[in-house]
Structure 1
């Protein structure tokens, strides 16, 4: 038995002082080597900015968006006078006569321009979000441009093909 002054003999070093523990660890056999780290996906450190993505992709995406903004602004100015635009289009197509302006024709042109501008805004927002996630976004302005041009073309074609001079020209083309 032990006396009340004596502590029981420590098992497994629970009563060892920190110095005794360090001394014992230096004489202990080496533990098995740690397994080599497996390469995995790179995760940004907390607080670090999101993955930067590819620099060339960002440059191309921003350049396409800038060009798209220029096209949208120039289209707004060009279609602000739809009658002049339609007359120039008819002359290019070889259609004689002048465009008959109606309130509906300018309304279709205005609707087309609005949809065209909204298409660019939506395209820019989607592109920025995709780039912020570090993914490739160069294709988004291209798809946005194609979709916006299709809608704009439909909006402009409706009043153009309803014009009497254009209808007469189509009749002459089909009669040949």
Structure 2
């Protein structure tokens, strides 16, 4: 086939530099003059990365999405966590009056048994306040830990549960100690348990 243009026809305009001379190609891609025409003209893939684009930080790899099971459990976990915290707050509000004045609460509890009035009032009040402070402190700690773990998308339902168990153990120990340091109440409890009172 004859690639020569027919007289009177216009030659098609060259595109992408295929009809350019080697000098024009080197000038277009900014190749130094030291490269001779016998050497192959470098293409974009052969050029260093610093000449292809301005330097910029490489973006970090995207985080892998959480499994579907974790995403489905997250609302349930949050609901249980906040529900247990609400139950703990209700328990604190309900027991605040009794723990704040523990001797009066013990007297009211044992009033039907016709026992003597509670004796060690000072020690009973201290034990009641200790129980109340520990109860509130554990609830606040559980609230902070739950907020942090929920913010990170981690399981948190067990935190208020553990805090509630520990708080109830502390309250029971304090209240039990306050009752057992009163001789009349200690003798009554031992009698109800079927054990002889200690001399």
Q: Which TM class, normalised by the smaller chain length?
A: 0.5 to 0.7
1:163 corresponds to which residue?
182
On the 8 A contact 2:106/2:179 being kept in 1, the answer is yes
Larger RCO (alpha carbons 8 Å, 6+ apart): 1
Q: Output the CA distance in 2 between the equivalents of 1:145 and 1:128.
A: 16
SS at match of 1:130: helix
Q: Which residue of 1 aligns with 2:114?
A: 96
Q: Can you list the C-alpha shifts for 1:74-106, whole angstroms capped at 9, x where unaligned?
A: 221232221231123335xx7431322421110
Inter-partner Cα distance in structure 2 for 1:9 and 1:53: 68
Q: Aligned partners of 2:113 and 2:187: how far apart in 1?
A: 9
TM-superposed CA distance for 1:113, in Å, is 0.4
Give 2:159's aligned residue.
140
Tell me the C-alpha RMSD between the 2 structures: 3.0
1:101-144 CA-to-partner distances (Å, cap 9, x unmatched) read 42111011001100111011111111111112211111111111
Asked if the contact 1:68–1:145 (Cα under 8 Å) also holds between the matched residues in 2, the reply is: yes
8 Å CA contact retained: 2:103, 2:121: no
| Contact residue 99 and residue 132 of structure 2 kept, 8 A | yes
1:117 aligns with 2:136: yes
- Unaligned 5+ segments in structure 2 are 1-32, 46-62
1:119 and 1:144, CA in 2 relative to 1: closer, same or farther beyond 3 A? Answer: same
> TM-score, normalised on structure 2?
0.60
Query: What is the aligned partner in structure 1 of residue 88 from structure 2?
Result: 68
1:41 partnered with 2:64:
yes
Counterpart for residue 9 of structure 1: 38
Per the alignment, do residues 167 and 8 of structure 1 end up closer, same or farther by CA in structure 2, a change over 3 Å counting?
A: same
Distance 1:7 1:170, change over 3 A: closer
Greater Rg by CA: 2
Matched pairs, number: 140
CA deviation vs aligned residue, 1:128-175 (integer Å, no higher than 9, x gap): 111122111111111110011111111111111111221221343314
- Aligned mates of 2:104, 2:121 — CA distance in 1: 13
Distance (Å, rounded) in 2 between the aligned partners of 1:150 and 1:71: 14
Q: Which runs of 5+ in 1 are unaligned?
A: 22-39, 44-50
